[in-house]
């Protein structure tokens, strides 16, 4: 366990004005995204699209790290350079998704638990050799009638904690992602209640597994109204309630908190993050930044649509979205900036 390496990695991941690109979609998830722009889901097309993102000029100014999928960390760019080495040449830290996905939780209808702990120690050692310096594990928490149950929360918290301990043993910084899904008709108050309970249980489990908080990054979902809720909370309330929830449940010792976009629009994901940073500037124990997938590169995927002639334009779209997220992490995102390309 190299504490100095992990401390340096964690600090760089949440450096001022920078955040993470989540490019760790499984092949099945990529298939859905590609279908939306009429691109065939082949290994070659997945490689070409990731190459487009990773070779965008100057992207290291806004992106500190990229979460890769198992297939991607083993691939090389179109120019023949291994993707981890390509990212490093941009000043970007390679990371890796290591969980086995959320599966139905036996005896708990409507709930899921994430699998993938078996053999993880060996996989982490291999990923370290391939260049990964941080990892990610996602848990899924559904909100509905009588759920989440305490059993579901505890099972996922335990898995997140065991994964984190194995990562730190391998000198890899763990990102824990206990995602409270936006699906449903729950109110923002209900989301706050569930989010706080999930975070408290997760960090208690981490403490029990002797996970070092100083070498751990939280990937949090925002406290927000369910998509089907009749009353959608305003942006300021989302920002304030999210910060309140984090302050109640997240140890101050963490190097930083990154947010998932969770199905929000590109603009909403940026606006909410920016308001958290502007309204609570100077009163946060950790930096708050982004770890977005769709909210960072969905627009670029649409601009590309599998056509070689669209690569430069798509990279421009991606660079713009990265800049918007960077501004949001500094509390400086505005509608005017959104409309200003370049």
Q: Is residue 219 annotated as part of the catalytic site, yes or no?
A: yes
Q: Which residue in the block uniquely carries the two structure tokens 């070498």? A: 215
Which residue is catalytic, options 219, 235, 244, 267?
219
Q: Which residue in the block uniquely carries the two structure tokens 């989440």? A: 148
Q: Which residue in the block uniquely carries the two structure tokens 């092949």? A: 27
Checking DSSP bridges between strand 256-259 and strand 288-292, what pairing results, if any?
A: parallel
Q: Is residue 4 annotated as part of the catalytic site, yes or no?
A: no
Q: Which residue in the block uniquely carries the two structure tokens 């600090």? A: 11
**CB neighbour list of residue 117: distance below 8 Å, 6 or more residues apart:** 159, 162, 163, 166
Which residue is catalytic, options 25, 111, 177, 179?
177
Active site residues: 177, 219
């Amino acid at each position: 366990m190299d504490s100095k390496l992990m401390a340096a990695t964690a600090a760089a991941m949440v450096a001022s004005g920078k955040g993470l690109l989540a490019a760790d979609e499984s092949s099945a998830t990529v298939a859905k995204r590609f279908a939306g722009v009429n691109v065939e889901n082949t290994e070659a097309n997945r490689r070409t699209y990731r190459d487009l993102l990773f070779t965008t000029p100057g992207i290291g100014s806004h992106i500190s790290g990229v979460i890769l999928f198992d297939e991607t960390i083993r691939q090389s760019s179109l120019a023949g350079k291994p993707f981890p080495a390509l990212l490093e040449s941009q000043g970007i830290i390679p990371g890796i998704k290591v969980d086995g996905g959320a599966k139905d939780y036996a005896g708990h209808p409507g709930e899921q638990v994430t699998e993938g702990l078996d053999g993880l120690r060996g996989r982490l050692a291999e990923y370290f050799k391939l260049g990964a310096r941080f990892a990610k594990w996602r848990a899924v928490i559904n909100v509905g009638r009588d759920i989440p149950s305490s059993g579901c929360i505890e099972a996922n918290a335990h898995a997140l904690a065991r994964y984190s301990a194995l990562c730190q043993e391998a000198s890899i910084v763990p990102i824990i992602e206990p995602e409270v899904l936006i699906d449903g008709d729950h109110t923002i108050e209900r989301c706050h209640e569930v989010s706080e309970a999930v975070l408290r249980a997760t960090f208690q489990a981490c403490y029990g597994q002797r996970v070092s908080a100083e070498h751990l990054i939280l990937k949090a979902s925002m406290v927000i109204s369910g998509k089907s809720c009749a009353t959608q909370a305003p942006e300021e309330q989302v920002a304030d309630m999210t910060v309140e929830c984090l302050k109640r449940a997240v140890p101050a010792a963490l190097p930083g908190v990154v947010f998932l976009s969770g199905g929000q629009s590109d603009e909403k994901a940026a606006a909410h993050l920016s308001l958290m940073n502007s309204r609570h500037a100077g009163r946060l124990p950790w930096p708050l930044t982004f770890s977005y997938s769709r909210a960072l590169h969905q627009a670029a995927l649409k601009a590309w649509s599998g056509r070689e002639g669209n690569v430069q334009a798509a990279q421009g779209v991606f660079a713009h979205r990265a800049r918007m997220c960077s501004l949001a992490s500094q509390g400086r995102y505005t509608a005017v900036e959104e409309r200003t390309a370049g």
